[in-house]
A and B are shown apart, each in its own frame.
Chain A
């Protein structure tokens, strides 16, 4: 028998009471290898106003390019201190910040490696179905050949690539812009 997936609904304005027990803004446990990065940014609505009631969820591979998941059967090591899950709400100023490591490359649909990336789900009041996007890394030579990035209009690719923060080693800036010329690229997975 074939069923239809339950329809999505907004998280509404009060998701904090349901989500905060599993908030995680530091993905890096003890003994985890890889380059530490702090990713910070803001969420902006169609008027350019920061969104104080959004929440981001992160999913990523470890520094070896291995996901902590049974379907990842690559011969690469897992690290007990790294699950790859993050959940970060925005502040009253619409800002978020989390600490993680730059993941290693994982296989792509063309049989080649994908450039290192984080998957992001974005939820907020007013959003009936989550947004799905990715964060890529600056100065990463694999970006140019990345299968997914190459599906995106070149003029919009920069919305997916975090920028270095001047004078702050390891700090990256990446914003979520919901509308307008700088609108973040969101992906359609047929969901």
Chain B
């Protein structure tokens, strides 16, 4: 009987703890008892699969979901999805959502006094190609205030959600923009102890994908968990 090949344990400090007191919402929502370590079974190394057919053809262009063009600076956000073994992950669903250029989400809970944009919904989907590449056209989201602490503002960011090949590889994260002066003050960005790991959440301005007279390009590569080399024999 072969055990299933596990996914690699996280490198210390590169993932957030559940409790991060500067992010006030974590205080009443972080478990107080230790999590129970379990071995990988068939349940965790399988997971939902979504083919390219699930995504509408223009779902990756957030600037063309309405009759007019959204306000703000058009940008192209693209990158590759790889696993920790540098293997490109094809056919992986990528979901994004974000605020509009004024820093307002199309969500009933967002009461920030900034205008909604009738031409911007702020969500998109893509499925990675054979090389693990995805690409979105969107507008640069605005910064917005929140009530975590006095004069708290979130840096501009885009939420990313990925499934990968297994239950174990599921990832939700946020992409930030280079040079944003709010980043050093953001408790959510800073929840990860390892400085290099958190800085990898900052996208890179990219001439290669910048389109002349059309849109700046930002590159954001995403790494999902990778397998241990070999299954353990019993």
A interface residues, Cβ below 8 angstroms from B:
1-19, 21-22, 45-47, 49, 51, 53, 57, 59, 61, 67-72, 83-85, 106-109, 111, 114, 117, 119, 121, 123-131, 147-148, 151-152, 156, 178-180, 183-191
Taking a contact as CB atoms closer than 8 A, the residue among B47, B109, B201 that contacts A13 in the complex is B109
A189 B86 Cβ-Cβ under 8 A: no
Bound-complex Cα distance A10 to B154 (A): 13
Given contacts A9-B201, A59-B48, A128-B188, are A4 and B7 in contact (CB under 8 A)? no
A19 B95 Cβ-Cβ under 8 A: yes
List 27 A-B residue pairs with CB atoms under 8 Å apart, sorted by A's residue number.
A4-B14, A5-B225, A6-B201, A8-B173, A9-B173, A14-B97, A15-B159, A17-B97, A17-B105, A17-B123, A18-B97, A21-B123, A49-B28, A67-B46, A71-B46, A107-B41, A109-B39, A127-B30, A128-B191, A147-B39, A147-B41, A179-B29, A179-B32, A183-B31, A185-B36, A187-B38, A188-B37
Check if B40 is an interface residue, CB within 8 A of chain A.
yes
Bound-complex Cα distance A180 to B192 (A): 25
CB neighbours of A119 from chain B (8 A): 43-44, 167
B32 A71 Cβ-Cβ under 8 A: no
The 8 closest A-B pairs by CB, nearest first: A18-B97, A126-B25, A190-B9, A69-B46, A85-B48, A46-B28, A188-B35, A128-B16
> B155-170 toward A: CB 8 Å interface, digit per residue (1/0)?
0000101000011101
Q: Nearest Cβ distance between residue B66 and chain A, in whole angstroms?
A: 14
B125 A5 Cβ-Cβ under 8 A: no
Q: Nearest Cβ distance between residue B100 and chain A, in whole angstroms?
A: 11
Q: Nearest Cβ distance between residue A43 and chain B, in whole angstroms?
A: 9
CB neighbours of B1 from chain A (8 A): 111
A5 B110 Cβ-Cβ under 8 A: no
Q: Nearest Cβ distance between residue B71 and chain A, in whole angstroms?
A: 17
Q: Nearest Cβ distance between residue B220 and chain A, in whole angstroms?
A: 9
Given contacts A126-B25, A189-B44, A190-B8, are A3 and B121 in contact (CB under 8 A)? no
Check if B23 is an interface residue, CB within 8 A of chain A.
yes
CB neighbours of A11 from chain B (8 A): 159, 161, 172
Q: Nearest Cβ distance between residue B172 and chain A, in whole angstroms?
A: 5
> B45-77 toward A: CB 8 Å interface, digit per residue (1/0)?
111111000100000000000000000000000
**Interface footprint category on B:** 35 or more
Interface class of chain B by DSSP: loop
B interface residues, Cβ below 8 angstroms from A:
1, 3-4, 6-11, 14-18, 20, 23, 25-50, 54, 82-86, 95-97, 99, 105-107, 109-110, 121-123, 125, 159, 161, 166-168, 170-174, 188-189, 191-192, 194, 197-198, 200-201, 222-226, 234
Q: Nearest Cβ distance between residue A82 and chain B, in whole angstroms?
A: 12
A67 B43 Cβ-Cβ under 8 A: yes
CB neighbours of A128 from chain B (8 A): 16-18, 20, 23, 26, 188, 191
Given contacts A14-B107, A148-B41, are A9 and B174 in contact (CB under 8 A)? yes
B15 A7 Cβ-Cβ under 8 A: yes
B192 A188 Cβ-Cβ under 8 A: no
B191 A130 Cβ-Cβ under 8 A: no
B172 A83 Cβ-Cβ under 8 A: no
Given A69-B46, A147-B41, 13 new contacts (CB under 8 A) = A1-B86, A3-B83, A17-B122, A17-B123, A84-B48, A109-B3, A129-B15, A186-B31, A187-B36, A188-B36, A191-B10, A191-B168, A191-B225
Among the interface residues A1, A5, A9, A21, which one has the most CB atoms of the partner chain B within 10 A?
A5
Bound-complex Cα distance A191 to B170 (A): 10
